[in-house]
Structure 1
């Protein structure tokens, strides 16, 4: 399945729920949403350059057999990426080399009947693993960033989708000494439980929107194939 096929599949991802949440909170103007939906032109919450950097590191760590896009990065950026990859040697050996990576997931929400989708960086026994790049230099700072980037919600969503007992974030710093952070979250973690309530509420709202004549559907469903995300 190509990235375009995944994004346009008529099922709800955690990124789609984040879009709905931003619309409801007023953080994303409805005018931008409708433009995106009707023209198929993606908007960017994150700087596209940052997205490219993270995408390249993911590919180097999870799918090293795939060719890289040389023109995406400067020589200095490539040097940083290779230093980061070297620091990821242990997680690559322990997880990414021996267990399935870039795993598409799908299911039906028992609460709403909506179709759900996701993609796990790594499927590891009863856990799913997600690799993150970060500007944080300490473990506590990395965990503190979860609220800003909706990582708690991401973990809760994937636990809801799959019924797994754990979700693991592996973070790597983007500056020397490129620290590694591993955060294992159990399904009964208080922040996961509170985030699960958010996931349920957003899925219920998504179902309401789906029955409106001009309601919200994920803008990703309408993305044109010849327009790249980054």
Structure 2
């Protein structure tokens, strides 16, 4: 399944719930949302080089046997990518080559009956593993960003999706010496339980919105295919 096909599949992802949350909090104007939905365009523009850097690192770590061909990166960026990959070598050797990576999942929420979807970095027998690149140089600073970026809610969503009880955050610093931060969160922990309450509340709100004739639906469902093959 292509990235476009995944995004437009009529199921709710954690990114979709984040969109609804921002609308409810007034952080995302409804006018901006409707414009993006009507025209099938993303309402936020991220530097393609930033996206490609993260995607390349994920491929190098999660699919080490797959050749990486990308003309976007200059020599300095490639050197940084290889340094970061080296820091992740123990996880590549002990986890990523032994378990399925880049796994697309879907399930029916038992509470709302809504179809939910997710794409996880790595799925072991006991845990979901997710790689995060970060500018933080200390573990305390990295963990402090979890609430800001909704990481606890993301972890709760994936545990809800997979019926697993453990989620491992694997942070890798973008600056030398590229420190690695590991945090394992359990389903019954306070942070995950808080995230789970948010997920359940947002799914219930999503169900109510779906029942309205002009209610919210994920703007990603209406996204146009902007890859070369999809450009008219």
TM range (shorter): over 0.9
Distance 1:4 1:72 in 2: 20
Q: Does the residue aligned with 1:70 lie in a helix, a strand or coil? A: coil
Q: Does the residue aligned with 2:154 lie in a helix, a strand or coil? A: helix
Return the offset for 1:46.
5.1
Contact 1:41 1:227 in 2 (8 A): no
Aligned counterpart, 1:29: 29
| Equivalent runs, 1:1-230 vs 2, <5 Å | 1-44=1-44, 47-227=47-227
Between 155-164 and 37-46, the greater mean CA deviation after superposition: 37-46
- Specify whether residues 67 and 42 from structure 1 end up closer, same or farther in structure 2 by C-alpha distance, changes over 3 A only: farther
Distance 1:204 1:75 in 2: 48
Distance 2:59 2:38 in 1: 31
With normalisation by structure 1, the TM-score equals: 0.94
Report the number of matched residues: 228
Runs of 4+ in 1 over 6 A off after TM superposition: none
Return the offset for 1:54.
1.1
Between 214-223 and 36-45, the greater mean CA deviation after superposition: 36-45
Unaligned runs of 5+ in 1: none
Distance 1:36 1:94 in 2: 42
- Specify whether residues 118 and 58 from structure 1 end up closer, same or farther in structure 2 by C-alpha distance, changes over 3 A only: same
Distance 1:107 1:75 in 2: 42
Return the offset for 1:69.
4.7
Return the offset for 1:210.
0.2
CA RMSD, aligned part only? 1.5
Higher RCO, 1 or 2 (CA under 8 Å, sep at least 6)? 1
Return the offset for 1:104.
0.9
Contact 1:101 1:122 in 2 (8 A): yes
With normalisation by structure 2, the TM-score equals: 0.94
- Specify whether residues 216 and 47 from structure 1 end up closer, same or farther in structure 2 by C-alpha distance, changes over 3 A only: same
Return the offset for 1:36.
1.2
Q: Does the residue aligned with 1:157 lie in a helix, a strand or coil? A: helix
Distance 2:44 2:67 in 1: 25
Distance 2:128 2:175 in 1: 26
Unaligned runs of 5+ in 2: none
Contact 1:170 1:183 in 2 (8 A): yes
Return the offset for 1:70.
2.5
